[in-house]
Amino acid sequence: MKTFYLFLELRHKIEIHQMTGRIVECPIDEKNLPRGRQQAKLRIPPTSDQVGRLFAGWREELATCRKFAPAARNFTACRLMADVGLRVNETCKLDLPDIKWDLGRFGKLHVRLGKGARGSGPRERMAPLINNAGGTLRWFVEDVWGQFGDDHTRPGVPLLLSERKNTDGSTARVGDETIRAALARAAQTHLPDWPDVVTPHVLRHFCSSRLYTSGMDLIAIQQLLGHAWIATTMNYVFNEDVVRHYQGFLDRRRQARPTDEYRSVTEPEGLGFEEHFDQRKVELGGCARPYSTPCQHEHACLRCPMININPRMSPRLDEIEVDLLARRARAEAEGWLGEIEGIDLTLSFLRQKRDQTRRLARVAPVDLGIPGIAVRSAARRG
């Protein structure tokens, strides 16, 4: 709701006031914000072609790498995150028996230590081996896993093994930092055109977005990712087709625009940009009008919806109100009906802005004092 009202204030505040005579303001002020974290930011993952080039180059690199088994392990872990949408911690904590080859059409992964919501503890789920994740796992288990030198019959043997050994001689479990570093190096080598860092969570977003674009139901994606709330899953899906069409629209629009518009900013333009913010400082506060736009109300700030009143100027609003009332009394005595109408409009804006300023003003902190510590008697202690 706060974002919606912010959009109205930035884009349509003046139009709404002209049509209805009312000033748009958000009913949720700084003291009545809902508790909890802010909404998660939508991550835009790489496209299917870019991820395909990443893993194709990484797969070819396995034939010439110095240590094949660790490189193949890192490749397999990242493929699982991109194909099934696992978290990096869930991937590293998988055991070899967690692969259920005989369940479902493609086989399933038993994610025993799935992330719980707000400290509720691990949440188990079964993740189907879609997008040929089963083929990747079969290749890793049959051709790579045995090179780490561990016993597949040992209880709790990890799926993704490390090169280090435990104190009892068994092979340790790989850490998530190893997977993160390997993915970052591979993305830097095989996906140099991607401007951001490719993290395991970006692959998780890529998986959900690809499944949603291909037609999978949002509830099924929620169950696959292990989300407690469907609203969380909605932050993970991103439609590639929309981005592709919009990017094409931008490219066509840039080609139609004159090439003279694509130039560096001159020094006078830079100074004008800096002076714009200095000119927005007025007596009652700050003007929020956009850059390179003139004052639409001829510096009648009380009537302007773009003015942000400084709470320290609240006494000044009272002085202006007294002056306006005196002018209105004079106008009534002289019969200046047009002047009375203008003063009444200014008074309505003044009172609305004053009420808004007082409502948004911060309340002084309350001194609760230092809590005292009661001293128990010796008889009670005994």
State the average pLDDT over residues 142-166: 91
The pairing of beta strand 125-128 with beta strand 161-165: unpaired
Per-residue pLDDT, 40: 53
Instruction: Determine how many CB atoms are found less than 10 A away from the CB of residue 336.
Output: 15
Give the separation between CA 194 and CA 188, rounded to whole angstroms.
8
The answer, yes or no, to whether residue 59 has pLDDT greater than 90, is: yes
Among 169-173, 199-203, 301-305, name the one with the lowest average pLDDT.
Answer: 301-305
Per-residue pLDDT, 382: 47
The answer, yes or no, to whether residue 249 has pLDDT greater than 70, is: yes
Give the separation between CA 211 and CA 237, rounded to whole angstroms.
8
Residue 193 token pair: 């055109």
- pLDDT level of residue 172 (50, 70, 90 thresholds): very high
Per-residue pLDDT tens digits for 314-330? 888 889 899 999 999 99
- Domains of the chain as residue ranges with CATH: 48-237 (1.10.443.10), 267-359 (no CATH)
Which is higher by pLDDT, 319 or 230? 319
State the average pLDDT over residues 251-264: 72
- pLDDT level of residue 53 (50, 70, 90 thresholds): very high
- pLDDT level of residue 242 (50, 70, 90 thresholds): low
Biggest CA-to-CA distance, the chain: 103
State the average pLDDT over residues 99-113: 91
- Residue 257 burial (10 A CB sphere; 0-12, 13-18, 19+): exposed
The amino acid present at 276, given as its one-letter code, is H
Give the separation between CA 184 and CA 200, rounded to whole angstroms.
9
The answer, yes or no, to whether residue 123 has pLDDT greater than 80, is: yes
pTM over 0.75: no
Per-residue pLDDT, 72: 95
Per-residue pLDDT, 257: 74
Which is higher by pLDDT, 302 or 49? 49
